[in-house]
Structure 1
Amino acid sequence: MEHARTFRCFGGAVTVLVGGAAPDGTTAEAAAAAAEALLLEVNDRLTRFDPASELSRLNADPRPAVPASATVRRLAAAVRTAGVLTGGLVDATLLTELEQAGYERSREGAAGLAAAPDAFTGPARPARAARWRDVRADDVAGTVVRPPGVRLDAGGLGKGLAADLAGELLAAHPLYCVACEGDLRIGGTAGVPRPVTVTHPVGREVLAALDVVDGGVATSGVHVRSWTGADGRPAHHLIDPRTGRPAHTGLVQVTALAPTGLEAEIRAKAALLAGPDDAGPHLPHGGVLLHADGRVERLAPPEPPPPRASMPGRTNV
C-alpha cells in the first residue's frame, strides 16, 4: 500500500505517493510528510508572486552576485541548462515579457480559455540577447551571478526541479511518485512500472498511456494558463523568446519523457515552442504531441542499439 498526501502548492494540487519503508526504517507516511514540507519550502523560495520570497529578493537585488540558498542556486543552474539544451528556446529570463503579456499575478483558480488559442504565428525562435547565458550558480561562493536587472522566472523549471528534489528525498523507498502540477518524478528501489495517462486539457479524454519505472514526465500546454490579453488576442504563459509574445506554433500541448523531472519540463516546453516540424529532436526520450487541429502524435524513444558480439579474449566496454 502506498501512502498519499495531496496539498496546495505551485498554484495547484500536488500529490506525493510513497510505498514501503526505507532501509533506515523511515515509513512511507513519514517520508511523504517530509516531501510535502520540502515542496512547500521550495514553493515559498521560488514563487514570484510574493515580494518577500527569496527569488523575488534576488530579482530585485542590484548586486551582480547575490548570496543564495542551495535551492535558488539549483534554479539558476537550471536556467542555464535549459538554454543550453534547447539552444535558447526555453529562456527563463523572460519575466518582463511574461508580465507584459498579462501574467503579472498568480492565476491560481482562474479559468483558462475554453478553447486553445489558434492564432498560428509559426515556430518560436531564441532571442538574440540570450540573457540566460549570463546566469550562473557559484556553489563555492554560495551566490547566484547575473547582470543586475536580469530577472528569473521559476515557472515550470521550478516545478520540475522541485519534483526532482522530492525524488532525491524518497529515492530509498520501494515506490514513489511526485506530481507537481504537470511535472512528475517517478522511481523507487522496487523498479515497478507506474502507469501514467496523458489527457486532453479540455474534456480530459485520454490521449496516451505510458509506463514509467524511473524518470520524469512533464506536460506543457497553452490551455490552463491562458487568458485574453489587453489587445483582445488570446495569450498564455509560453513566450516566444524572439518576439517576447505568447507563442502560437501549431502545438497546444506536449508531454515529454526524460531521466529527470527538470529535463522533462525543459524538453516539453522546447518541443511545444519549436512547433510540429521541429519538435522531434527535443524529445529524444519520447513524448506525446497534441496539435492545434486535435491530432495526437506519439513519438517513441529510440530503440537501444543491439549488444556487440563478444570476441574471445576481449571484454566489451
Structure 2
Amino acid sequence: MQLILNCWRFFLFFWWASILGMTAADLPTWTWTGETMGSRYRVTVVAPPDSAELRARLEREVEQRLQEINRQMSHYLPDSELSRFNRAPEGEAVRVSAELATVTRFALEMSRRSGGAFDPTLAPLINLWGFGEQGPVLAPPSEEAVQKARERVGWQAIEVTPQNELRKRKAGVSLNLSALAKGYAVDEMWRVLQRHQLTNVYVSIAGEIRVAGHNARGGPWRIGISAPLELWREKDPLAAAVGLRDMAISTSGDYQKFFHDAQGRRLAHILDPRTGRPVQHQLGSVTVVAPEGMQADALSTTLFVLGPEEGLKFVEGWTNAAALFIVREKEGEVFRLIPSSRWARFTGWQAPGN
C-alpha cells in the first residue's frame, strides 16, 4: 500500500496536536536524562517501586553501562577498544571485549546480507565528506580523493575470530560502528532495567528507541515519526505515529545532517558504500521496527542506502522487522508513505482518515 500525503501542513499538524498533546499520565513514572555518544539519552519507568534508593541505583547503573560501551566502541576516544584496533597494523590480532566482538559480527553480517549497502569501514569516506570527527568541508571532494579513500574501505577486510579477536586484512582499514552502536547501547539500557524486573519502560538515545510493556496510560508507547521536511526543525509536525510494545524503532534520513553542492543537490551524511558518495534518491527517511535496537539501527541505515524499491524487498526478508519509507515528491512538500507488509501488524499504524 502506498499513501500520498498532500497538504501535509494540515494532516501533520493535526497528528502532532492530537498525539503529542495528550500529556496527562494515569500512572506514576520515573524519568531522567543524560548525555552519551554525543547525544542525549532518556529513561522512563512506569509504575516504579516506591524506592529512592532503587532509582539512584538505576541511574548509576545506566550511566556506568553507557560509559563502558563508549570505552569499547567509541571512534572518538583515543583509548577505546575500537580506536586501539584501528591503530593496529594489518594482520595483528587484537583481543577485544565480547560486546565489541558481538556488535562487529552483526555489522559484518548486515554487510554480507545487503551486498555491501551497509559497511562499518566507511570512516575514511565519512571524514572526507565532512561528516566525521574532522568536521565539515567547504566543498565536495574530488573524484580522485573519493577513489583514494575507497582504497581503505571494505568490510571484507575485517575478521572476528571465535576468541573475540579483531584482525584487518588490509592496511589502513578501520571500524566505525556509529550506524549501530547507539542501537546496541539502547538495548543495554533496556537490559539494565529488565534485570531489576522493571517491565514497563522506555529508553532512547537520540532517535534510537526501545520500549517494553505499556506507557503511563496503560496502552502501547506512542512514537512519532518526523516528516523529512527540507528545512526540518525538532518541533516540526509528524508524518506518522505508531504504537509499540516490546519493540525497538529507528529512523534514518537526510534531513538533519547535510549540505548542498554548487548544483543545489542535497548531500547527506548517509553514504552509499558501493559508490563512496552520499545517497542520491528521493527517499527522505526510513523507519524500522524490530525486536532489538541494534537490528533496527543497522537496518534503517541499510534500507536508506538501498532506497524504497530495493529496500522494500530487503526488509521483507527479515521476518521480525518492518519499515516505513517516506519518499519526497514535488519539491519536498508532498510525501509518499510506503509501508512494508508487516508494518501495520507490528505498529498498529493506520493511514490518516482510516
Band of TM-score, shorter chain: 0.7 to 0.9
Residue 102 (structure 2) aligned to one of 39, 58, 74: 74
Q: How does 1:79-158 map to 2 (within 5 A)?
A: 79-105=107-133, 131-139=154-162, 141-147=163-169, 148-158=171-181
**Against the structure 1 CA distance between its residues 186 and 93, is the aligned structure 2 distance closer, same or farther, given a 3 Å change threshold?**
same
Distance 1:55 1:241 in 2: 20
**3-state SS in 2 of match to 1:91:** coil
Range moving further from structure 2, 278-287 or 202-211? 278-287
Q: How does 1:169-188 map to 2 (within 5 A)?
A: 169-171=192-194, 172-188=197-213
Distance 2:43 2:113 in 1: 28
**3-state SS in 2 of match to 1:102:** coil
**3-state SS in 2 of match to 1:186:** strand
Residue 322 (structure 2) aligned to one of 267, 277, 286: 286
Cα offset, 1:142, TM superposition: 3.4
Residue 254 (structure 1) aligned to one of 279, 286, 290: 286
Q: What is the percent sequence identity of the aligned residues?
A: 25
Counterpart code for 2:246: D
Aligned to 1:220: 252
Segments of structure 1 that go 5 or more residues without pairing to the other structure are 111-126, 305-317
Counterpart code for 2:324: V
Counterpart code for 1:186: V
Total equivalences in the alignment = 283
Aligned to 2:243: 211
Segments of structure 2 that go 5 or more residues without pairing to the other structure are 1-27, 137-149, 346-354
When normalised by structure 1's length, the TM-score is 0.78
Cα offset, 1:257, TM superposition: 0.8
Q: Which has the higher helix share?
A: 2
Aligned to 1:266: 298
Aligned to 1:238: 270
TM-superposition CA deviations, 1:254-293 (whole Å, max 9, x none): 1111111111112211221111222212334322222232
Distance 1:193 1:253 in 2: 23
Residue 5 (structure 1) aligned to one of 21, 24, 32: 32
Cα offset, 1:90, TM superposition: 0.9
**3-state SS in 1 of match to 2:85:** helix
**3-state SS in 1 of match to 2:309:** coil
Counterpart code for 1:14: Y
**Against the structure 1 CA distance between its residues 130 and 45, is the aligned structure 2 distance closer, same or farther, given a 3 Å change threshold?**
closer
Distance 2:71 2:152 in 1: 30
TM-superposition CA deviations, 1:146-171 (whole Å, max 9, x none): 32532111112111111112222222
Matched, 1:43 2:70: yes
TM-superposition CA deviations, 1:22-69 (whole Å, max 9, x none): 8xx983553243223212331343222232322112111115310112
**3-state SS in 1 of match to 2:272:** coil
User: 2:254, 2:284 within 8 Å by CA — same for their partners in 1?
Assistant: yes
**3-state SS in 2 of match to 1:156:** coil
When normalised by structure 2's length, the TM-score is 0.70
Distance 2:153 2:241 in 1: 37
Cα offset, 1:84, TM superposition: 3.0
Matched, 1:53 2:77: no
* Cα RMSD (Å): 3.1
Distance 1:26 1:212 in 2: 30
User: 1:249, 1:272 within 8 Å by CA — same for their partners in 2?
Assistant: no
Distance 2:251 2:72 in 1: 23
User: 1:268, 1:283 within 8 Å by CA — same for their partners in 2?
Assistant: no
Aligned to 1:122: none
TM-superposition CA deviations, 1:175-228 (whole Å, max 9, x none): 122211211121249995211111125142111111111121001111222235
User: 2:74, 2:82 within 8 Å by CA — same for their partners in 1?
Assistant: yes
Counterpart code for 2:206: E
Cα offset, 1:104, TM superposition: 3.3
Cα offset, 1:130, TM superposition: 8.3
Range moving further from structure 2, 31-40 or 151-160? 31-40
Counterpart code for 1:215: M
